[in-house]
Amino acid sequence: MLIDRQEPIIRFEHASFGFPGVMALQDISLTIHDGEFVGVIGPNGSGKTTLCRAILGLMAPIEGHLHIFDCACEELRCHHRAKIGYLPQKGVVDRNFPVTVLETVMMGRYGSLGLFRHPNAKDRKIVTDALAHVSMDGHQDTALGHLSGGQQQRVFIARALAQQPKVLLLDELTTGLDITTQHNVIELVQQLHEELKLTVLLITHDINMIRSRVDRLVLLKTKLYAAAPPADVLKPNILREVYGKDLVITKKDLVIVEDYHHHH
Amino acid sequence: MLDLFTYDFMHRSLLAAAMVGGLCSVIGVFVVLRGLAFVGAGTSHAAFAGVALGYLIGWPPLFLAIVFGLATVWITGWVEERGGMKLDVSIGILYTTTMALAILFIGLMKNYNPEVYGYLFGSVLSVTDNELLVISGLTILVLGLILLCSKELYFIAFDQEMAEASGVPARLMFFLLLTLVALTVVVSMKTVGAILVFAMILIPASTAYQLTHSLKTLTLYSMAIGVTTAVGGVIISAVCDLPSGPAIVLLATVLFFCAVFLSPKRMNRSSPTHSH
């Protein structure tokens, strides 16, 4: 991990988001470097999804600045945003929508194709490769709604890969999946991070699932509480301040609520 | 009975029905998938208010129908974008307001005007050459735009925010879709009437939805069903001496229930793939 030598990709400078008086994120200064694997954690309503929407260009800072690939991105639809592959929270998309796996992944090409141009052989090759990366190449003509939750997540990751991104932005990747599937999907993301040299921002509630995999954890609760390696973030005093509950780190490095720890 | 098909009015009717059936069913795919069904209903009533005003003040009724239809969908889209009100609430308010205006305009007319009611209930068998020309022009325009922007329209129907985040001009496409819905409604009013045009948009796409899982196939099926039911309805209407609008819509409804009953999706629903 040579963060110091890497290019900054996403840079928040004293950035605030929301409405005057109702801040979703306040005075955030954070730099994400090329090739980092970053986990974003925090309680419900802490601004994790706002952070995600800001990076995607769906909302502008009301104070401060946000630089994406060293561009101030004053225009929300700055072309630099196309380099960010995004996987939305489960439930945002109707997973029974009448669409095949191939059609879903091809949507990842639409932004870079531009208006009035339709996919060609090169786009189809990129899509096929993206499906191969997530081991879903045998399911091109399968209906999205016929797949299991884990397979659907793989298809959505392939859709993000079809964008040929430099950054993968994954919002609640493992929510609603069983424990084995959660593990498999996180493994896949780590593999893509290593093989394709992708910068990964993983927004999650599951601290234990990602703590051993990420380079840094970003801890949010409207303000930025920490952005450091997991060992420096997962400290009882910091967690108590953010989560408002005594959390303990067990001998096996698991973060659990203290009440539960005492009873077991 | 076959003599009927030698008349010019019948040729015009069948051509108008085929175009309107195809147009409504294609735009219907995006309306159903993007969850804009109620917008179709509201727009048709707004457009009818435009027709009524046109006859009242002596302006071209189709022109005012387009103005009323576009104003309604654009206001609806703007309100939804601002997030101030749910789409069904804003369209519900505009829907009833424009219907009140239509009734007011008809009430202000000194004489009974059967042509106004032609737009309300539809009378494809009385389509004139000029009207056929307008229908053809608007059909080519709307289908052409859909063809050009199909990938963006599919994407915003799937997930507008994801489309926006991927670099697709999603807002522009949403307003384009609303505009195309308004134009489609106006084109179709003379054929099936303001009350039933909504069914022509909704039913073929919903029927096709029962039969496939692919976006492209869904559109092709919907178009085939739309054209078949529109042409079939006109023939039934002419042969059995029934009003054309209800004949088209009821035929489409019968096909819809057949599709629901025979839907491969229903049969597959109990056996999803389970792995990983």
Which residues from A are below 8 Å from B274, CB to CB?
148
How confident is the model at residue B275, as a pLDDT? 41
Which residues from A are below 8 Å from B273, CB to CB?
142, 146-148, 151
Which residues from B are below 8 Å from A110, CB to CB?
151-152, 155, 163, 166-168
Could you tell me the residue range of the domain that residue A242 belongs to? 234-264
* Backbone phi, psi, residue A204, to 5°: -155, 160
CA–CA gap between residue B222 and residue A14 (Å, rounded): 52
CA nearest to B142, candidates B270, B42, B39, B28: B28
Buried b vs exposed e over B184-195: b needs ≥16 C-beta within 10 Å?
Answer: bbbbbbbbbbbb
| The token pair that represents A91 in the structure block | 């439930």
Say which CATH architecture domain B2-265 belongs to: Orthogonal Bundle (1.10)
Q: Verify whether the Cβ–Cβ distance B276 to A119 is below 8 Å.
A: no
The minimum CA-CA distance between A170 and chain B, rounded to whole Å, is 12
Same domain, A132 and A58: yes
Same domain, A14 and A37: yes
Which residues from B are below 8 Å from A179, CB to CB?
none
Which residues from B are below 8 Å from A82, CB to CB?
166-167
The yes-or-no verdict on residue A93 having pLDDT over 70 is no
Same domain, A244 and A183: no
Q: Is A145's Cβ below 8 Å from some Cβ in B?
A: yes
Q: What residue ranges do the domains of chain B occupy?
A: 2-265
Which pLDDT band, with edges at 50, 70 and 90, does A248 fall under?
A: low
How confident is the model at residue A74, as a pLDDT? 61
Same domain, A161 and A225: yes
- How many folded domains does chain A comprise? 2
Same domain, A106 and A134: yes
How confident is the model at residue B271, as a pLDDT? 47
Q: Is B81's Cβ below 8 Å from some Cβ in A?
A: no
State pLDDT tens for residues B57-72: 999 888 999 999 999 9
Same domain, A71 and A198: yes
Query: What rounded mean pLDDT belongs to chain A?
Result: 84
Same domain, A217 and A239: no
Same domain, A43 and A135: yes
State pLDDT tens for residues B239-257: 898 888 889 989 999 999 9
CB contact residues (below 8 A), chain B span 155-214, against chain A: 155, 158-159, 161-169, 209, 212-214
CB A185 within 8 A of CB A200: no
How confident is the model at residue A97, as a pLDDT? 83
Same domain, A239 and A114: no
Reported pTM: 0.84
Close Cβ partners of A39 (under 8 Å, ≥ 6 residues apart) = A202, A203, A204, A207, A210, A211, A213, A214, A216, A217, A218, A230
| Average pLDDT of the residues in B170-191 | 89
Same domain, A164 and A240: no
State pLDDT tens for residues A117-152: 889 999 999 999 999 999 998 899 998 888 888 899
Test mutation, A22, A69, A81, A103, chain B, max B CBs within 10 A: A103
Q: Verify whether the Cβ–Cβ distance B275 to A142 is below 8 Å.
A: no
Same domain, A60 and A87: yes
CA–CA gap between residue B77 and residue B64 (Å, rounded): 20
How confident is the model at residue A20, as a pLDDT? 72
Same domain, A145 and A241: no
